[in-house]
Amino acid sequence: MEQRPKVHGLDLDAQTRCAHWHSPLDVIAIRMACCGEYYACKDCHEALAGHPFAVWPRNQWATKAVLCGVCGTEMTIAAYMASGYACPDCGAGFNPGCRNHYQFYFEAIG
């Protein structure tokens, strides 16, 4: 059985919810472009990483960089954006409001 990647965060629960985002739908973690480590959110990265934050350029959206905190599935950025706010493997719902924060993680579209 493949081991789930380690996720960093403040007050992290088993499904990657953190001190900043903890609704039932806040169950993704993002592999940061700057360090390759998974964090629950940018605020957790800012608090814990000790280095500047970077966004994923569009030409790297085929990289597996989004983790479902419910089942541990890693998705590419493009697959996550096209998921319809649900894990393609287990069906867990993702917070649709996260789209309002894409610019913090992923290069802006258009």
DSSP-assigned states of every residue in 70-100: TT--EEEHHHHHTS-SB-TTT--B--GGGGG
pTM: 0.93
- Domain assignment of residue 48, yes or no: yes
- Domain assignment of residue 1, yes or no: no
pLDDT at res. 91: 97
Contacting residues for 46 by C-beta, under 8 A, at least 6 apart: 53
User: For residue 80, what are the domain limits?
Assistant: 7-105
7-8 and 38-39 beta bridge pairing? parallel
- Domain assignment of residue 40, yes or no: yes
- Domain assignment of residue 29, yes or no: yes
Q: For tokens 């990265």, what's the residue? A: 45
Total number of domains constituting the chain? 1
pLDDT at res. 2: 66
pLDDT at res. 7: 97
- Domain assignment of residue 80, yes or no: yes
Cβ pair 44, 9 in contact under 8 A: yes
pLDDT at res. 49: 96
- Domain assignment of residue 64, yes or no: yes
Which residues lie across from 66 on neighbouring strands? 30, 75
Distance separating alpha carbons of residues 61 and 70, to the nearest angstrom: 22
- Domain assignment of residue 110, yes or no: no
Cα 27 to chain center, whole Å? Answer: 8
First and final C-alpha spacing in the chain = 40
- Domain assignment of residue 52, yes or no: yes
pLDDT at res. 110: 54
